[in-house]
Chains A and B, each alone.
Chain A
Amino acid sequence: MTSVAPGAPPAVSVDYGPAPSARVGLAQLASRMVTLCWVELRKLRHDRTELYTRAIQPALWLIIFGETFNRIHAIRTPNGISYLAYLAPGILAQSALFVSIFYGIQIIWERDAGVLAKLMVTPTPRSALITGKAFAAGVRSIVQAAAVVVLSAILGVALTHNPLKLLATAVVVVLGSAFFSCLSMSIAGLALSRDRLMGIGQAITMPLFFSSNALYPTALMPGWLQAISKVNPLSYEVDALRGLLVGVPTNLALDVAVLVGAAVAGVIVSSALLPRLAK
């Protein structure tokens, strides 16, 4: 352990690094979020393949599953809306879930490629790095969600045209994706390998989806599944989206509060696990 450049006068370092204050911290957090979302958008611009391939699955759900169940009227929907209209917000949330639940793969790839170590040597606190990535996942999800909205419109589902509600939809999608990408990055911090993360991601995606209200109202579920659905953030995301997009009565304040809480908790846990990846 030796000190570097012993001849350098220590006094000149005074103007380096702002004093840590809450205001500087928040400004920095905002700046890192903007930066990492910018990176995500640049990447999407360079390669849109994923955008198209990821649009296939929601299309199948809506066209095959949705249209079929729409005809048999097996599921009683609130306010007598068509099953397809009921399903569309659920599939939108699902496609955002798929984007974010595997987002941790990126951080493992960055770890393996040495990019993560470089990012962590910049003046970026761990929590800012995680928050930035969580919102970058949100940006990617919004693009995916937009594809589902367009597809639903083509299938004749009457979704809202209110720009404020569409904006709120984007906010809800970002919050949900922030939570699920943090869940993914937390698993990445525990699993430490791409293969294991893929396995765990596959294992939890469908249970998350089926134990939510994405496909059917929670009232139709057996009691034990209703209990699980109550602690599944995806249910709250779908609930909020349904209220905003197709106008069924929902508890938007509760939904948003749960999503914000889940996202904050996700950021805290995955920030704490991040150093495991940097070792």
Chain B
Amino acid sequence: MLVTLLKPMDGRISVFGADAASRPMRVRRMIGYVPQLLSADGSLTGRENVELFARLFDVPHSRRRALVEEALAAMGLTEPAGRLVKTYSGGMVRRLELAQALVNAPRLLVLDEPTVGLDPIARSDVWDHITRLRERAGMTVLMTTHHMEEADLYCDRVSLMHSGRVQATDSPANLKALLGPDASLDEVFRHFTGGTLDEDTAKGGIRDVRRARRTARRLG
């Protein structure tokens, strides 16, 4: 719904003041989206995949090449950029997807379980890139994850969702403090979701964690 693929049945979503249901084009220009599936076009090269998104976001021709190279470099993909993506590893495809999302200089980056299916090395590598990017560009990053330790480590604010509803929203430290000095975010999650993995939870993919950095600065 946030990325304007679905219309909300109830309530409204506003992205930097633009309503996602009534102004989808405006919202789309402000966001970069990386879906859960590894989804780059294997029959194009890495550079072509990024250029495709630069074109689809109407990056002016004069700046296109520079921005494409910049996005590739930011994700450490300059060297393999000329290779077909079907030869990439999972972690590389994920970084390529981040580069695709970045080429538009979005104010909000939406990541749907960015590390699902990656091995531990690729996972920490992807996180390094996301963190560095956030520090440099100052964009808001909103992501969902099933891994509480990732939420704890990388997020400023976390929302725990259960049965499609937000159960609690706060910084990881504050959430943990609710349960005592040594609590982990896993325990907090169990606390808010009733502890058992009932059928409802298993069905819905409910453990979403949200981070929204309050200080959203526009990218230059």
Chain A residues with a Cβ under 8 A of chain B: 1-13, 16-17, 20, 28, 31-32, 34-35, 38-39, 42-43, 46-47, 113-115, 117-125, 278-279
Contacts and interface: CB of A to CB of B under 8 A. Distances in A.
B26 A13 contact: yes
Interface stretch (B6-14, B125-133, B173-181, B198-206): B6-14
Interface of B: 1-6, 8, 10-18, 23, 25-26, 28-31, 33, 35-41, 43-45, 48, 52-53, 55-58, 84, 97, 100, 107-108, 140, 142, 159, 166, 212-216, 218
Nearest to A35: B55
Contact of B216 (A5, A38, A123): A5
A13 B30 contact: yes
Given A5-B108, A13-B26, A121-B3, A35 B52 contact: yes
Contacts of A121: 3-5, 28, 31, 33
A113 B39 contact: yes
A122 B16 contact: no
B55 A31 contact: yes
B13 A4 contact: yes
Contacts of A1: 1, 8, 10-13
The dominant DSSP class at the B interface is: loop
Which 6 residue pairs are nearest across A and B when measured between Cβ atoms? A10-B17, A114-B39, A1-B11, A114-B37, A7-B214, A17-B26
25 contacts: A2-B166, A3-B12, A4-B108, A4-B212, A5-B108, A5-B213, A8-B107, A8-B140, A8-B216, A10-B16, A17-B23, A17-B26, A35-B56, A42-B45, A46-B43, A46-B44, A114-B35, A115-B39, A117-B33, A118-B100, A121-B3, A121-B4, A121-B33, A123-B28, A123-B29
Contacts of B57: 122-123
Given A4-B13, A13-B17, 4 more contacts: A3-B13, A7-B214, A10-B16, A34-B55
Contacts of B44: 39, 42-43, 46
Nearest to A115: B39
Contacts of B215: 7
Contacts of B216: 5, 7-8
Contact of B30 (A7, A16, A46): A16
Given A1-B10, A114-B39, A123-B29, A28 B212 contact: no
A25 B30 CA distance: 19
A202 to B, nearest CB: 24
A7 B45 CA distance: 39
